[in-house]
């Protein structure tokens, strides 16, 4: 039955043009807005080969990103990341801890003991980012700021209205508190034991992003969920929350919306949700 449901979802999922940039018009908008799928660890010199993205960004009066950096929230975020009374070396067997520590050192160059008191998902996140950067010569050739940070900071310099869809505290709560730390620790060990698959997924996602292949990225995301469990809280639920804000923001001014590319495709993606609300959404 599960295989049948997956097959039906694949058959009914929209097919997308090979593009990361989409124009949003109609439904009462006086001027079009734009939806762009980012790759959070990709640097902004990538945009040198995307003149259309630069053009629509320049003429947009508003910028919307997932979150913006709030220095006043840094301390509370750091405290949220700590496990009071627990440490990773006591949560894992000696063999599993050594396995993770050796891999963490290889990928990040840092000693895992420095992060013993941090929630294990922080270590998992650092490893996954390390895999993406370390395994991809393509990513290393780009320079500058991460795309999302660039759009927000440059927007402020240019006097654009910059809006965050989520606070840093909301994002950290989602990352750090969704699963119990015991599950986070088990997932970390599993991640390291399946590192070859993880590295392969990271490289494949990078390659698909640079091709602008939303269809294949969505399928890769579905395959990842089948291996690692329900991740709807990361994409589907957030898309639904963002759709409560985006129409009003786009109605105020022509807006450049920059969010992770995996938020765009699929039946619960922003492209489909915007169309459902009556907007015309076309690839550029």
pLDDT digits (tens, 9 = 90+) for 180-194: 999 999 999 999 998
CA distance readout (Å), 135 to 188, 208, 220: 19, 15, 18
> For the residues 230-250, what does the mean pLDDT come to?
92
- Condensed to tens digits (0 to 9), the pLDDT of residues 261-281 reads 999 999 999 999 999 999 999
The rounded Cα 119 to chain-centroid distance in angstroms is 20
Domain for residue 259, yes or no? Answer: yes
Domain for residue 2, yes or no? Answer: no
Whether residue 175 has pLDDT greater than 60? yes
Q: Please name the helix (run of DSSP H) or strand (run of DSSP E) that holds residue 257, with its range, or none.
A: strand 255-260
Domain for residue 7, yes or no? Answer: no
Better-scored residue on pLDDT, 54 or 226? 54
Tell me the residue length of the chain.
284
**Mean of the per-residue pLDDT values for the chain?**
88
261's CB contacts (< 8 A; 6+ apart) are 20, 37, 38, 39, 209, 214, 217
Domain for residue 3, yes or no? Answer: no
pLDDT at position 72 is 67
CA distance readout (Å), 89 to 176, 179, 241: 18, 19, 37
Rounded CA gap, 214 and 220, in Å? 10
pLDDT band, residue 136 (cuts 50/70/90):
low
CA distance readout (Å), 222 to 29, 59, 102, 229, 265: 33, 35, 30, 10, 11
Contact 88, 122 (CB under 8 A): no
Domain for residue 1, yes or no? Answer: no
User: Encoding tokens for residue 67?
Assistant: 């979150």
pLDDT at position 7 is 40
Whether residue 11 has pLDDT greater than 50? no
Domain around 237? 21-283
- Condensed to tens digits (0 to 9), the pLDDT of residues 54-97 reads 999 999 999 999 998 777 667 777 788 899 889 999 999 999 99
Whether residue 5 has pLDDT greater than 50? no
Rounded CA gap, 72 and 136, in Å? 34
Structural domain count of the chain:
1
- Condensed to tens digits (0 to 9), the pLDDT of residues 112-121 reads 999 999 999 9
Domain for residue 13, yes or no? Answer: no
Whether residue 10 has pLDDT greater than 50? no
The pTM of the full predicted model, rounded to 2 decimals, is 0.87
């Amino acid at each position: 039955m599960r295989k049948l449901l997956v097959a039906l979802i694949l058959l009914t999922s929209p097919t997308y043009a090979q593009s990361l940039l989409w124009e949003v018009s109609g439904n009462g908008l006086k001027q079009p807005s734009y939806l762009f799928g980012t790759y959070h660890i990709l640097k902004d010199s990538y945009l040198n080969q995307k003149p259309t993205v630069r053009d629509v960004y320049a003429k947009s009066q508003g910028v919307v990103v997932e979150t913006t950096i709030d220095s006043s929230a840094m301390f509370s975020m750091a405290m949220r990341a700590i496990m009071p009374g627990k440490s990773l070396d006591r949560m894992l067997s000696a063999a599993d801890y050594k396995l993770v520590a050796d891999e963490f050192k290889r990928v990040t160059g840092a000693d895992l003991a420095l992060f013993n008191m941090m929630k294990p998902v922080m270590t998992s996140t650092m490893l996954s980012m390390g895999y993406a950067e370390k395994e991809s010569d393509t990513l290393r050739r780009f320079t500058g700021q991460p795309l999302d940070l660039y759009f927000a900071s440059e927007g402020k310099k240019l006097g654009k209205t910059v809006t965050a869809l989520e606070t840093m505290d909301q994002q950290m709560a989602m990352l750090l508190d969704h699963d119990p730390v015991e599950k986070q620790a088990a997932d970390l060990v599993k991640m390291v034991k399946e590192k070859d698959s993880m590295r392969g997924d990271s490289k494949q996602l990078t390659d698909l992003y640079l091709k602008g292949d939303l269809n294949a990225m969505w399928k890769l995301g579905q395959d990842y969920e089948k291996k690692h469990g329900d991740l709807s809280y990361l994409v589907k639920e957030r898309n639904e929350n963002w759709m409560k804000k985006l129409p009003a923001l786009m109605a105020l001014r022509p807006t450049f919306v920059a969010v992770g590319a995996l938020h765009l495709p699929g039946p619960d993606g922003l492209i489909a949700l915007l169309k459902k609300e009556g907007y015309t959404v076309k690839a550029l």
